[in-house]
Amino acid sequence: MIRTIRQAAVAGAAALGLAGTALAADAPAMTQVADIGDLSLEELGRIPVTSVTGRPQPVQQAAASIFVITAEDIRRSAATSLPEALRLAPNLQVARINANQYAISARGFNNAIGNKLLVMIDGRTVYSPLFSGVFWDAQQVMLEDVERIEVISGAGATLWGANAVNGVINVITRAAHETQGLLVAGHAGATGNEASVRLGDRFDGGAWRVYATQLDRSHTTLPSGKALDDHQDRQQAGFRSDWRGALDTVTIQGDLYQAGGDGKTTTSADMSGANLLARWHRDLPDGSNWQLQGWFDQASRDEAIEFHDHTRTVDVQFDQVPALGKDHQLIWGLGYRHAIDETDPTPLVAFVPAARELSWGNIFVQEEYRASERLRLTGGAKVETNVYTGAEFLPTLRATYDLGGLGSLWGSASRAVRAPARLDRDFYFPARPPYIIEGGPSFQSEVANVFELGLRGQQASGINYSVTAFHDEYQKLRAGKAAPTTIDNLAWGGVSGVEAWANADLARDWRVSVGWMALRESLNASPLAGANSVANLGDDPRQQWSLRSTSRLARTVDFDVTVRHVASLPAPAVPAYTVADLRLAWRWLPGLNVSVLAQELGRRHVEFDPSSSARFGPTVFIKLEWRTN
C-alpha cells in the first residue's frame, strides 16, 4: 500500500513540473472557475449549513454560534494545511506545537490531547478512540477541494453525540462534478514543500475525481535553538465519485496515506491509514428524504515511547426527514459504530487490556417548529450508549426570534458529555509495576450543561455580524489523586465568554473581517486531586482577536492580510504574541495563479508549552496553481 501511495504522489509532483510545458498548448481552452468570492455579504449569509439542524438552512438562521470558512476564505489566506485554515475561525483556539502537531479547541480546555471537540471530514468522524481527540498530524485534505468548513462552538451532542461538547468542526469537500479537469498545485519554502495533482471527469449520470499529494515538512527548533526532530514526509492519495439521479444521490470516496518518521521520536510518529465511505441520499416527491451512510477507517500510529496504536472502525448511520408540513421540520436517526483498538506496550506506557473492542449505539430525534412568522423553536434529544458508562441522555432546546432589520436573536440550552476513552480507563504508567497511574476503573463521563444567547444580523449597508455570550457548567472533569493514583472525576467548574465577528465591504473589491473572543474559566478540583489537576485540563488565553483584509489591487492581482493576536497562556506560562500572514496573488495566465505566502510575520514565538513546543517565526512560500477548468 505504501509503495502505491508513494508512486501516486510522485506522479503528482512530476505533473507539477510538466504543467508549464502543457500550459502553452492548453491555455486557450482554460476558463476561470467562478468562486464564492464573487458573492455579496447578503449571499454569503444564505450559504446553507447542515451542522446545526442536520438539514440545509441559511447560516443567518442557524440557532448556534457557527462560523463558516468558505472555499474563498481558504484560497485568499496563507494557509497550507487544515489546522492553518482553522485559524480563520474566530471561535476556535489553534495553537501550533511543532511542525506537525496542534492543540485545537473551542471555549477552553485546549491541550495536545484535547477531547471535547468533534471533528468530521465529509461525515466521517476522525477522533481517536484512544483519547477522544484528534491526532492533527494524521489529518490532511486538499484545501483546493474544500467547499466549506462549518465551525460550531458550543454543544452539538443531540445530532452528533458524545464528544461534541465544546464544538463541532465539519469539513465538507466539493462534489466530484465541481472538480473537473486537471488541477496541479504546489508550494515551496524554507520550512517545507508540497505538490498535489487532481484529475476529474464526468460520466453518464455522475462524475469522479482522483488526487495524490506529496508533502515534506522541515524540522522546527526549540526556544533553546536546538533542532526538534519533527520532520515529516507524507504521501496521500484518494478518490471521490458521485452519481445523481432523479431522486437519488450516491457518493463513494476514500483515502489512503503514509506519513511521519521512523517512530524513534515522539514528535514525528510513523503513521499510515485508509478509509472508505459510501452515502446514499434519496429525495422523495412528497418533500421527505432519507440518508444511509457507512464508513470504514483503519489507522496505525507508532511513536518511540508513547503510543503504538492500531485501530479499525466501522460506522453506519441512518437519518430521515419526513414531510410534516411547512411549520414542522423533523429529523430522526439511528446509528452504530464498532472499533477494535490494539495498543502495544511501549517503554513508557501500557494499556490494559492491550486490545479492546468498543461500540457505540445511538438514536435521536430533533424538530424545528415555526411557532409564528418570527419565532422558531427547536427541541431534540439523543440517547447514546458506550461500553464504559452505558446510556447517556443528550437533550437540547433552541429558539430563534426574527428582529427584522436588527437581525435574529437566538438562545439555547444543551447537555453534552465526553464519554470515557481508553486513555481514561485503561492507561497505565509506567508500563510495568510499580505503577504511578493505574488506569481509571471508575471514571465516568464528563458532563457539560451549556447555555448560549446570540445575536446575528445582516445590514443593507454591507455589514454582517454575530455576537454570542455563553456560560458552560462542567461536572465530573478528568482529574486524579496525587500519585500513585487512578484516573478519576475530581474536578468541576464553569467557563463563560463572548465570541464575536463581523464582515464589512468597504469598497467593491475590499472586504474587512474582524473576530474577537474573551474567555473566563473558574475551575476547581477536590482536595484529594493532584496539584496540577486544574492546569492539566487545558491552557487557554483569556482573549484573542483577528483582523483580515481581502482586496483586489488590479484585475489580476489580489492582496490579502490577516493579523491575529493571542493573549498569554497561564500554566505553563506562554507570552502573548501578534503576527501577520500575507498573500499576494497574480493570475498570470488563464488558469494559472502565482502566489507569495508569508506566514507568522512578527517576533519568533512559542504557541503552547515552552518545554516541548517549537518556536515559530516568519516563513515565505511560493505557490503555483494551474487548472484546466
Strand-pair category, 605-606 with 592-601? unpaired
**Domain boundary assignment for the chain:** 2-627
Answer yes or no: are the C-beta atoms of 560 and 549 closer than 8 Å. Answer: yes
Answer yes or no: are the C-beta atoms of 573 and 591 closer than 8 Å. Answer: no
Rg, C-alpha atoms of the chain:
24
pLDDT at 1: 41
Reported as a single tens digit per residue, the pLDDT across 299-338 is: 999 987 788 899 999 999 999 999 998 899 999 999 999 9
| Cα–Cα distance measured from residue 326 to residue 234, given in angstroms and rounded to the nearest whole number | 49
Helix (H, G, I), strand (E, B) or coil at 197: strand
Answer yes or no: are the C-beta atoms of 280 and 312 closer than 8 Å. Answer: no
Q: Which parts of the chain sit beneath pLDDT 50?
A: 1-37
Reported as a single tens digit per residue, the pLDDT across 22-53 is: 323 333 232 333 343 456 666 666 677 887 77
Strand-pair category, 206-217 with 232-244? antiparallel
| Cα–Cα distance measured from residue 105 to residue 112, given in angstroms and rounded to the nearest whole number | 10
Answer yes or no: are the C-beta atoms of 422 and 130 closer than 8 Å. Answer: yes
| Cα–Cα distance measured from residue 299 to residue 135, given in angstroms and rounded to the nearest whole number | 11
pLDDT at 41: 64
Cα dihedral across residues 143, 148, 151, 156: positive or negative: negative
| Cα–Cα distance measured from residue 140 to residue 150, given in angstroms and rounded to the nearest whole number | 17
Half-sphere exposure of 369 (CA within 13 A, CB side): 8
Cα dihedral across residues 424, 429, 432, 438: positive or negative: negative
Residue type, 232: Q
pLDDT at 480: 86
CATH superfamily of 2-627: TonB-dependent receptor, beta-barrel domain (2.40.170.20)
For residue 74, give the nearest of 142, 8, 138, 15 by alpha carbon: 142
Answer yes or no: are the C-beta atoms of 180 and 202 closer than 8 Å. Answer: yes
Place of cell 497511574: 437
